[in-house]
Structure 1
């Protein structure tokens, strides 16, 4: 479990004074607003309280490097791994990820696995559709994926939705195998 903050000098003085007046550990903890373990530690160590608390390690990413990391991430949109290697940061990948995640100005967005459609791509798509919308020369030869059951040897298949049997040129066929007359 995590370690709470150390008691202040005022709180340590209160704990020692209350203990000298005969209060129990639990009563002192309620009065000071700290845990009984913290009270017990203060009473056991007396003058040496807080001397063996080393605190946490100094942060690897602070100041200039942290600002540089966040600035480059917002400017380029690169991943934490590529930022850490390109900026030559002396922190682990996970530390860079934590700092980027903790920044208030940025939010993680999962990248799409395809390039962005540009205006030229959209125009080319529209031209293709306009060209083949009226007179599609090759559509009769295409077998669509929603046509589940078909036999490629005979080029006759049955639609699973309507139950109608079709030939290769999409003419409905009667169940006996002869073409229907319209």
Structure 2
């Protein structure tokens, strides 16, 4: 029997029976394979045996120290070892990690990768925010657009799942270059969304302007008549001379969009919603045709309410950008 364990119900009954029959403590201890002191202590306090709470070893870390550990981890970005040395704690590095893990307001997370912003980018973003900070319902007449590549095997970093540690880890296929991919262009506004258009992976200005001629103009005119503004990022094919000539010839007004600003574009959130649906539960595809069919079907299921909420998020994005003084915003 392990040291320090309580007597079982059977052991207690046997000890009491032997004691009542006149057996000595040493004899009883021998019969139940327990130390005589254990038997004696039980017989002294039969009624209260096992009911006393064990206090355990008192903690050397009080609440104030726990708050300081959190502050150093979050505000100073110190490692557990650095915190231990800084506070001269007489506990292990693992214990410091446990204390942080027990805090419900702290979670050990990886940093979100974002594009690098140079001073000129920050300045342009801030100028954009200043120019449009009084816009509200005006954004409801903006058509947001973007291109996105989709892989058969799904996006990187989208394959986590809750695992039962008693079972082997699940596997997923991994093919070279994602197993194949396709490129999509789409646009949306407060009033609705375009069709998803499949374009070559390597697209030039000629292909891009032809796409806009065939897909954008009719879609925008049907929803907004002549009262709409087009948004696109600053990809080379979007800002080329040929593309600018196209916009000028068609009298298409453009929203002045700052470079390196995917966090401002609500269509990025729309891509995220679509990606979660397409690759739900780690789904992978056998061929491009299958991926296309699912992509089109899921795009059609996106509700007008979702589109409207995303379009109406622009004033809040502008506000956050002003508060961040042109730097990245969490959106």
Q: TM-score range by the shorter chain?
A: 0.3 to 0.5
Q: Which has the higher contact order (CA 8 A, sep 6+)?
A: 2
Higher Rg of the two aligned structures: 1
The structure in which a higher percent of residues are helix is: 2
- Alignment TM-score, normalising by the size of structure 1: 0.40
